[in-house]
């Protein structure tokens, strides 16, 4: 409903403004009746005193929201009345280190360091329009250095106030739709997480459970070592000069972290290696790949499933391939879902080598024990989880459409 309203409002606005001619300016093409304003002209030059609290002082609940420069809109809560910002509202918060913008129209407490409180100049700007205009600014990253100096050098579009309000209204509706999609996606992800925990410990038929090395599982399920049901191979090694636009398509670690269980394979995110590859290094549908080396502990052992491609594909040396010996009795999708779940993830992180790069090896994978129900139950469990994955994918595509609409 909100998405439909946003689209209708945008179409109406475009209809009202389609006769506009455009002119070239320092910030690009803008309608002829718009002007350009330097950033410092868009805000009031006032010395703002705010009480700040340190991150360790944030509470999970409290009277006043804490707004800091992190990605989270509200970082925590505070009960100290003396720390509350009581100046003019609304304000725009700028993260001096993170380049994050936030629109705030309620009493709040400033959190930690690096927060700039900006008061819109309401004589010339609608505050919400100004906020959205600031979101479009390209502020190059300087790492964790401060960025306000770069922001002060920027210029902003300046339409008539009546037009600003119309634009802000349109963007508000689209933003509401995006936030709704975020909530839907989050709910679906939480559902999937709960289902995985339930399905891999209780199964589908309400049977009794037994205690195993990984916790409770249904009595009729087996526990098998991965090395008993699969054979393993490390990926190819190559030098930098062999990587490019010629040769065989190669799966890298960044292809592994898809939302669903399948590899994220697109022509745009694959590279080629100019190397003659033995046929045993070529992937087959149903091959399960594991991240062997990861800069982050959470990434080690992450599993993804190869579902085929329209030309030969191999995989790099930071990945280990597991090829099931009997796919007539063991479903690759079931095994991959298990390794994506919390039970397996905890085991992997506990057993990984913590050095500069976190590693696992074939020996660790071979010794890893997994629960194995009868094939029909494997198929049903994999199907249930795939339906949730499809729901998440659909909602994420809807969100992407709205984000593209927002940019227009």
CATH number of domain containing 226: 3.90.220.20
- Asked if residue 148 and residue 40 are part of one domain, the reply reads yes
pLDDT tens by residue, 244-283: 888 999 999 999 999 999 999 876 788 899 999 999 999 9
Claim to verify: residue 228 and residue 347 sit in the same structural domain: yes
- Do 123 and 228 fall into the same domain? no
> Are 258 and 123 part of one and the same domain?
no
Would 185 be classed as within a structural domain? no
Flag whether 194 is in a domain: no
Do 107 and 241 lie in a common domain? Answer: no
Identify the pLDDT of residue 408: 72
How many Å apart are CA 250 and CA 312, to the nearest integer?
A: 9
- Residue spans of beta strands (DSSP E) within 200-353: 209-212, 215-218, 222-225, 230-234, 243-244, 248-251, 271-273, 288-291, 293-294, 303-305, 313-315, 319-324
Q: What SS3 state is found at 186? A: helix
- Whether 283 and 277 have beta carbons less than 8 Å apart is answered as no
**pLDDT for 354:** 53
CA distances from 392 to 4, 56, 183, 389 (A): 20, 34, 11, 5
pLDDT given for residue 233 in this prediction: 97
* Contact call for residues 336 and 291 (beta carbons, < 8 A): no
Give the per-residue pLDDT at 16: 53
Residue 142, domain member (yes or no): yes
Judge whether 192 lies within some domain. Answer: no
Residue 238 lies in domain:
222-372
d(CA 60, CA 76): 6
Pair of tokens at residue 171:
């963007």
pLDDT for residue 7: 53
Domain finish residue from 136, 158, 180: 158
Q: Residue 352's pLDDT is what?
A: 53
From CA 136, how far away is CA 65, in angstroms rounded? 26
Please name which of 79, 23, 74 lies closest in space to residue 51, comparing C-alpha atoms: 79
Q: Which residues, in sequence order, are CB contacts of 384 under 8 Å at separation 6+?
A: 195, 199
The Cα–Cα gap between 232 and 178 comes to 43
CA dist 385 and 191 (Å) reads 10
C-alpha distance from residue 305 to each of 68, 89, 255 (Å): 39, 51, 11
Q: 19 lies in a domain? A: no
| Same domain, residue pair 285 and 366 | yes
Backbone Cα Rg of the chain: 27
- Residue 100 is assigned to a structural domain of this protein: yes
Domain total in the chain:
2
Calculate what percentage of the chain has a pLDDT beyond 90. Answer: 75
How far apart CA 40 and CA 137 sit, in angstroms, is 14
Alpha carbons 34 and 20: distance in angstroms, whole number: 10
Select from 126, 158, 190 the last residue of a domain: 158
Same domain flag for 366 and 292: yes
286 neighbors 316 (Cβ within 8 angstroms): no
In a domain, 303, yes or no: yes
* Residue 10 is assigned to a structural domain of this protein: no
- Positions of the chain with pLDDT lower than 50, given as ranges: 2, 10, 13, 355-356
**336 and 236, same structural domain?**
yes
Chosen domain end from 133, 158, 183:
158
Nearest 5°: the CA angle 51, 57, 60 is 115
Residue 286: enclosing H or E segment and its boundaries? none
Say whether both 277 and 140 belong to one domain.
Answer: no
59 and 146, same structural domain?
Answer: yes
Please give the Cα distance from 301 to 362 (Å, whole number).
Answer: 11
Whether 228 and 302 map to the same domain: the answer is yes
What does the alpha-carbon distance between residue 150 and residue 153 come to, in Å, rounded to a whole number? 5
């Amino acid at each position: 409903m909100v998405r439909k309203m946003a689209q209708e409002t945008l179409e109406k606005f475009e209809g009202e403004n389609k006769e506009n001619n455009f002119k070239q300016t320092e910030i690009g093409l803008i309608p002829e009746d718009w002007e350009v304003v330097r950033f410092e002209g868009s805000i009031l030059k006032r010395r703002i005193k705010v009480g700040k609290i340190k991150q360790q002082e944030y509470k999970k609940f409290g009277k006043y929201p804490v707004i800091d420069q992190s990605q989270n809109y509200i970082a925590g809560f505070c009960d100290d009345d003396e720390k509350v910002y009581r100046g003019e509202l609304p304000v725009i918060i700028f993260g001096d280190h993170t380049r994050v913008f936030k629109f705030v129209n309620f009493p709040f407490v400033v959190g930690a360091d690096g927060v700039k409180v900006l008061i819109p100049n309401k004589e010339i700007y609608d505050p919400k329009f100004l906020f959205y205009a600031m979101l479009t600014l390209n502020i190059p990253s300087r790492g964790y250095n401060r960025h306000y100096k770069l922001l002060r050098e920027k210029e902003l579009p300046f339409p008539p106030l009546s037009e600003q309000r119309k634009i802000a209204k349109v963007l508000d509706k689209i933003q509401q739709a995006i936030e709704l999609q975020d909530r839907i996606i989050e709910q679906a992800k939480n559902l999937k997480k709960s289902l995985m925990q339930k399905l891999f410990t209780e199964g589908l038929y309400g049977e009794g459970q037994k205690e195993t090395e990984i916790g409770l599982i249904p009595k009729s399920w087996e526990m098998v070592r991965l090395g008993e049901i699969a054979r393993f191979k490390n990926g190819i090694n190559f030098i930098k000069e062999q990587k490019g636009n010629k040769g065989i398509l190669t799966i890298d670690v960044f292809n592994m972290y898809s939302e669903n269980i399948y590899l994220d394979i697109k022509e745009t995110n694959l590279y080629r290696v100019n190397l003659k590859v033995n046929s045993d290094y070529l992937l087959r549908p149903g091959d399960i790949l594991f991240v062997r080396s990861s800069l982050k502990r959470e990434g080690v052992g992450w599993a993804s499933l190869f579902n085929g491609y329209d030309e030969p594909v191999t995989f790099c040396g930071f990945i280990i391939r597991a090829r099931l010996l009997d796919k007539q009795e063991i479903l690759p999708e079931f095994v991959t879902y298990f390794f994506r779940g919390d039970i397996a993830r905890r085991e992997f992180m506990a057993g990984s080598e913590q050095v500069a790069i976190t590693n696992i090896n074939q020996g660790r994978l071979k010794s890893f024990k997994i629960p194995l129900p009868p094939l029909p139950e494997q198929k049903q469990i994999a199907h249930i989880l795939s339906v949730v994955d499809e729901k998440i994918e659909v909602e994420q595509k809807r969100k992407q459409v709205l984000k593209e609409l927002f940019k227009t």
